[in-house]
Chain A
Amino acid sequence: MTDRRASAGRLGAIVPTPEDFDRITADALPFLLDHAIAQTRRCLRETGQWADDIGHEKLAVRIAYELLERFLVYGRTELPCRPLFLLESVISKHFSQSEPLYYQKDLLSPLGRFLDGLVSKAVVSRDALMALYYHLYGLTQGPIVKLLGLGPSECHRVYKNFERWRRCGWERAIAEIGITEEELRQLECSQALDPARINVEATRLVPMIQAHYRRSEPQHFPCLTRQQWEHLLTQGSGYDYRVWHLAMCRDCLWHAYTIRLARQIDQPSPPIAVHFHPMPKVRLVASALSLGGNGNEKQLPTECLSRSSA
């Protein structure tokens, strides 16, 4: 209790320099996280988005963590300041926006949290964005390069993104989302017993989640018609647009499928095949060796789509 009072006292005083800010916030990190969690919980409760269960508690902790991360970087540019008050202003500012989070009770289940956390991570991380093609549709690097029509340098980046995601990105993302090993094991058991059930549930949730997180998309990234996609995919530009938008929009992804496969498939949108773990290294190497990542591979995306998790 004395430590908490001392931390609050130090954080309530004026901090003049970045070094002081780093030192004081590093010392009081547990206090700041708890404070952010309490504030977040209060905001959720006041907006009618709260229930006393583990799902809501984890949601509050995750939001508080993200806000505290922003505060730690943002605070260094707002000196001199009183760190505690600045943190409160960051939290208040976040919750004063319209729809600051996508609140759905279905998303508080382990599967919902996994999908929501993954897509939200894809908004801020290119590694997660590329991995989203694998986790949602089972696409590996080769088919992704083929599907998006990427050039050599972009193709190289895709492999780097997959490698980094496999090495540390996935583990870090899972830790930040709050999925425990037990929950992951249970999800995989459920998928092994009844793969269709998980995929049907994910098919219901993914469009809603994607629609919410497309708010972070640039304004000049609209959905295009099939003809427009055909035109764009044959051009040597708009790589960022393709990578971002197709990962976040199932309908447009389907246009790209049909265009790149050069045939019509009698389905309204690409089937979802959830993969909970990142692509194993063996498959990664095999994919690199067999496909070469140069866009000339013969393997079609539909083959990858039909695969289940390894």
Chain B
Amino acid sequence: MKSNCQLSAYRDRLLNSLRERADRQRREEPGSLRVFVNHAAVGIAECGVTPTTWVFVSLQDPIREIELRTEAGLLVGSLCASTVSPKTARFSAGHYSIDVCVENGLCGGTLRIMSRAGVPLWRRLEAKGWTAASRSLALGSRTLARLHKLGQDPARMLRVGWPWIGTVARVMITGAVLLLVVDRLTNQPGHRTPASMNTAQVTPSGQITSAEEHGAVIRFLKDQQLEVAHLRRSVTQLQDAHKTRGELEARLLARLTKAVEDRQRLRDDIHRLTVVLDAMNKEHAALTARVEAASTEREHMIEEVQRLIAANATLSRDVAVLETRAQVASARLETAAHPFKFWVSFQDGTSDKSIEALLEEIKGRRGPVDSGWYSVEVTLPQTHTPDSFVETLKKTPIVKAVKTSLGPAPAQ
């Protein structure tokens, strides 16, 4: 609870400080201004009677934030220059007017602070005097109007009007005194009415009676001639000055024209560069898009190649497996196929041709013939057993008998 009260009181005090700061800025004389650039104090700008300019140049960092504070610490100016283009601002502190100008380059920047007394004292007095006078006149006229309305009753007029007359008189006296003060203050050598020219008292020629008067007239005429000569010289000098001024103006005009042309040329160059830059940007964007497309395509191709490599590897593995299986099968076949030797006798009258055809059919290898028995050896596949082979062979018409005994050839 106590903390809340403390906080609330603290907040109220700070609010009052904030409310007072505008008044303080108007009322307090700054003395000298401490200048902060990018939150670092960089120097002191003096505020004097004569206009002064204070310059700060930053060689490395651009000038981004500027703050001006009085000797009492009051913040009277704050400016943020976030762009390269020049930025200006005007602040007031006391009766000083402060102009701030910031120009930033690509690296570094320049800060100018110009302070001048805003309104001279005698001008303010003069303004106040005229204000007081006009107010007193207005008050007087209003009072007179009221008195005029009450004019039919002199006693009432006197009773009501007397305090007003006193007030009006006091106000008018105050106004008059102020006007006199202002008049004295403004009556400076520079503002005085020029002294009237010396005018010679020329007497008519008919009245020149003595030599002294004649001499005086001659001196006067000589003085006049000298004055005329002096005036002529002055006129000549003025003409020369005018001519010089004209030449100067012409030169300045020429420089100005050149500067304007340069500026225009610069603008054209900037425009051209901008156009080129735009085109380059577009080209760059197109190239970037193409590069991106190519990159995407490349990525797709890489993915495809990787997929193919993976498939190839799988295929190779399958082939290897199949080869292994084939080898195993072949080996099995080799082990399963076995030679089978038997003896066969043919029907009488069977021609050798028929015998050869049969042997060829069963892929048999003929051995020696003994007593009508032909020795034959075949290689039986795994699927055939010798018995089944013999049975099949017996069913052949030309075969008479078949024997499987491996002993000597049987007798017929």
| Residues of chain A having any CB pair with chain B under 8 Å | 22, 26, 29-30, 33, 37, 53-54, 57-58, 61-62, 65, 68-70, 72-74, 77-78, 97, 121, 123-128, 157, 160-161, 164, 168-169, 172-173, 175-176, 178, 180, 215-219, 240, 244
Contact = CB atoms under 8 A, between A and B. Distances in A.
A164 B32 CA distance: 14
B10 A61 contact: yes
Given A54-B3, A73-B76, A77-B89, 20 more contacts: A26-B22, A30-B15, A37-B11, A58-B6, A70-B67, A70-B75, A73-B78, A124-B36, A125-B69, A125-B72, A172-B17, A175-B14, A175-B17, A176-B14, A176-B17, A216-B36, A216-B40, A218-B42, A218-B43, A244-B41
Interface residues of B, number: 38
Contacts of A70: 67, 75, 78
A72 B18 contact: yes
Contact of B14 (A65, A127, A128): A65
Contacts of B13: 175-176
A121 B69 CA distance: 11
A218 B80 contact: no
Q: Which of B18, B31, B67, B77 is most buried by chain A, counting CB atoms within 10 A of its CB?
A: B18
Contacts of B32: 126
A94 B13 CA distance: 23
Contact of A68 (B3, B18, B67, B77): B18
Contact of B79 (A58, A77, A175, A219): A77
B19 interface: yes
B18 A69 contact: yes
A62 B75 CA distance: 16
Contacts of B10: 58, 61, 178, 180
Given A33-B15, A54-B3, A123 B71 contact: no
B159 interface: no
B34 interface: yes
Interface of B: 3, 6-7, 9-11, 13-15, 17-19, 21-22, 31-32, 34, 36, 39-44, 67, 69-73, 75-80, 89, 91
Contacts of B78: 70, 73-74, 77
Nearest to A57: B7
A162 B75 CA distance: 20
Contacts, number: 110
Given A124-B34, A216-B36, A218-B43, A69 B21 contact: yes
B3 A127 contact: no
Contacts of B19: 26, 29
Given A33-B18, A72-B18, A121 B79 contact: no
In the A-B complex, list the 8 residue pairs whose CB atoms are closest, starting with the nearest.
A125-B73, A74-B78, A73-B78, A126-B71, A65-B14, A54-B3, A124-B73, A77-B89
B73 A128 contact: yes
B75 A69 contact: yes
B3 A57 contact: yes
Nearest to A32: B18
Contacts of A61: 7, 10-11, 14
29 contacts: A29-B18, A29-B19, A30-B15, A33-B11, A33-B15, A33-B18, A61-B10, A65-B14, A65-B17, A72-B21, A73-B76, A73-B77, A73-B91, A74-B78, A77-B78, A77-B79, A124-B36, A125-B71, A127-B73, A157-B31, A160-B31, A169-B72, A175-B14, A180-B9, A180-B10, A216-B36, A217-B40, A217-B41, A218-B40
Nearest to B18: A29
A128 B11 CA distance: 22
B90 to A, nearest CB: 9
Q: Which of B3, B17, B73, B79 is most buried by chain A, counting CB atoms within 10 A of its CB?
A: B73
A218 B71 CA distance: 17
Contacts of A29: 15, 18-19
Contacts of B31: 126, 157, 160
